[in-house]
Amino acid sequence: GAGVSQSPRYKVAKRGQDVALRCDPISGHVSLFWYQQALGQGPEFLTYFQNEAQLDKSGLPSDRFFAERPEGSVSTLKIQRTQQEDSAVYLCASSSQGLAVDEQYFGPGTRLTVT
Amino acid sequence: AQSVAQPEDQVNVAEGNPLTVKCTYSVSGNPYLFWYVQYPNRGLQFLLKYITGDNLVKGSYGFEAEFNKSQTSFHLKKPSALVSDSALYFCAVSFYSSASKIIFGSGTRLSIRP
């Protein structure tokens, strides 16, 4: 079946604008993760959903970041009043059971550039 | 603090030679260890994982990794490198107690010269 998809692939926003990034996980996958990957760095955990429940949002860097997964499938990461330091690649991943042993399947990412 | 270290930013190997990409971890409890690979303009792909049991795990594309508890290491290896193995490799760790706590290393760029 299809893998994890993300849209848009590229987004340029002026500082202060709000953006919304979409993730379509693999169908039937229970868990969904968002990561932020700065240039030359590994992915940094942002938040985690199990079905529609957001079980961990400890990685969200500020209250300008908000994520939702209302029906337990598609997820949206919203960033309000974007700042230059928000420029990064935002990765979405899903896993089948939501267990620590599960491998994660990653989307291609959304590259956000804030000017 | 829980952490994963990849001490080499870049590893250069000639095609046909063996390769090793190093990873060490610092965690409390028993970790689950992963290797992921990132090709240009493509998403991260799972290579292999260690959960328990045999310390040598085999994964995709001929890669294997050896878990060493005493040295807290999980080095990625391949007996004979291919040019197509050139990519960015990430070591990662998760924990039984928290499915969400996936910690990635900073990555190692592997470059295989013909």
pLDDT of residue B63: 97
pLDDT of residue A2: 81
DSSP letters for B26-86: E-SS-EEEEEEEE-TTS-EEEEEEE-SS-SEEE-GGG-EEEEETTTTEEEEEESS--GGG-
How far is residue B24's CA from residue B14's CA, in Å, rounded to a whole number? 24
Helix (H/G/I), strand (E/B), else coil: B62: helix
pLDDT of residue B30: 79
Of A49 and A98, the structure prediction assigns the larger pLDDT to A49
In chain A, the residue whose alpha carbon lies closest to the alpha carbon of B41 is A108
How far is residue B27's CA from residue A83's CA, in Å, rounded to a whole number? 33
Q: Cβ B106–A42 below 8 Å, yes or no?
A: yes
Q: Cβ A42–B94 below 8 Å, yes or no?
A: no
**Percent of chain B's residues with pLDDT above 90:** 75
Q: What is the mean pLDDT of chain B?
A: 92
Does A1 score more than 60 pLDDT?
Answer: no
Contact A42, B105 (CB under 8 A): yes
Contact B39, B112 (CB under 8 A): no
Residues pairing with B31 in the sheet:
B95
Q: What is the mean pLDDT of chain A?
A: 94
pLDDT of residue B98: 64
Q: How far is B47 from chain A (nearest CA, A)?
A: 9
- The distance from CA A114 to its chain's CA centroid, rounded to whole angstroms, is 17
Does B25 score more than 90 pLDDT?
Answer: yes
Helix (H/G/I), strand (E/B), else coil: A76: strand
Contact A18, A90 (CB under 8 A): no
A48 reaches B (C-beta below 8 A): yes
Write the pLDDT tens digit of every residue in B28-53. 777 899 999 998 878 899 999 998 88
Out of A42, A55, A107, the one facing B105 most closely (by C-beta) is: A42
Q: What is the mean pLDDT of residues A56-83?
A: 96
Contact list in B for residue A33 (CB cut-off 8 A) is 100, 102
Which of B98, B91, B58, B88 has the alpha carbon at shortest distance from B72?
Answer: B91
pLDDT of residue B43: 83
Out of B45, B96, B105, the one facing A100 most closely (by C-beta) is: B96
Q: What is the mean pLDDT of residues B8-30?
A: 93
Helix (H/G/I), strand (E/B), else coil: A45: strand
How far is residue A73's CA from residue A31's CA, in Å, rounded to a whole number? 9
For an interface test with B, give the residue of A35, A101, A105, A111 to mutate (most B CBs within 10 A). A101
Q: What is the mean pLDDT of residues B67-76?
A: 95
Q: What is the mean pLDDT of residues A62-75?
A: 96
Contacts of B69 (CB under 8 A, 6+ apart): B55
**Percent of chain B's residues with pLDDT above 70:** 96
Phi/psi for A90 (5° steps) reads -105, 120
